[in-house]
Amino acid sequence: MAAKTVGADLEDRWRDILSVHARTMCEIDRVLHPHGLGASDFEVLDVLASETPRTGDQCRVQDLVGRVHLSQSALSRLIGRLEKEGLLERAVCVEDRRGVWVALTDKGRDLHTEVRPLQREVLERMLGAR
């Protein structure tokens, strides 16, 4: 009987985590929408900004996959859209033609700087001390 209670408790906690995640992502989407971004767009910009702090620094797309919680194909589509919007640039890796490098453009870096406080406010409101 105790195992069932523990299992039910774990399921309840898991559902709570999923619920908080869904509400937080929706709220981030809402506050970033006027800036032409969604939560996943911001995550890519945010990871690139932290991984490539200087203009011209690059990051391999493969290194982004596990950090932004998107499939390889979804991330590729998102990167293509962000590139089309002028927020980042792509380049083929010279050493490994299968690899792709991405870098924030000045426009992408500026937009990230502008909207980062909005995303952080949502995180504080949704995940801060309760």
DSSP notation for 78-106: HHHHHHHTTSEEEEE-SS-TT-EEEEE-H
Residue 106: predicted pLDDT: 94
115, with CB counted inside 10 A (0-12, 13-18, 19+), is buried
Residue 28: predicted pLDDT: 97
Helix axis angle, 2-32 to 106-127, nearest 10°: 140
Residue 65: predicted pLDDT: 86
Going residue by residue through the chain, which has 130 residues, state the pLDDT in tens, using 9 for 90 and above. Answer: 455 677 788 999 999 999 999 999 999 999 999 999 999 999 999 999 998 767 777 888 888 888 888 888 999 999 999 999 999 999 887 777 677 899 999 999 999 999 999 999 999 999 986 5
Residue 100: predicted pLDDT: 86
Cα angle: 28, vertex 116, 21; to 5 degrees: 30
Q: What is the pTM of this model?
A: 0.85
